[in-house]
Structure 1
């Protein structure tokens, strides 16, 4: 976990951007010793958003399954997951 004071973003923007890109991890910024912001590169953010969307879809499908609603075949699921993984 990379934690920096909020002033670091003004003083060392390029350094923080490089850290985000190289590690694919967010940098946590503090203000007066308390957590304030999280900064990450756009690729990492996009990947996380896609993964969250996939998790939401899978949860919805599981809820449908538990409620007894019909689903899809294993082949259909395999094709769908291959497409989603390719996007990520």
Structure 2
């Protein structure tokens, strides 16, 4: 359930809002005159969300690249074989 507080709590009860953000690990929604205005969250939650967004961006990019017929592709077993070869110090053949 979302945590919703009036904007006056930012001024009067900031420490409570900060503690709630850290303790609950959820954002606190701030209203002004009964309407949505701000969202306050811990830095840890912000970083987690940014990391998730970046992961989804990279996955979308990889999926797009995977669908491209001009992209050179190798099978999983071929990739593992090449990586093991490199780890064992063998010279590259390509």
Q: Give aligned pairs, total.
A: 76
Q: Which runs of 4+ in 1 moved over 4 A?
A: 71-76
Consecutive unaligned residues in structure 2, runs of 5 or more: 81-94
| 1:23 corresponds to 2:24 | yes
Tell me what 2:65 maps to: 64
Task: Compare CA radii of gyration and give the structure with the larger one.
Answer: 2
The one of the two structures with greater contact order (alpha-carbon pairs below 8 A, sep at least 6) is: 1
Between Structure 1 and Structure 2, which shows a larger proportion of helix residues? Answer: 1
CA RMSD of aligned residues (A): 2.0
The TM-score with structure 1 as length reference comes to 0.77
Tell me what 1:13 maps to: 14
- SS state of the match for residue 36, structure 1? strand
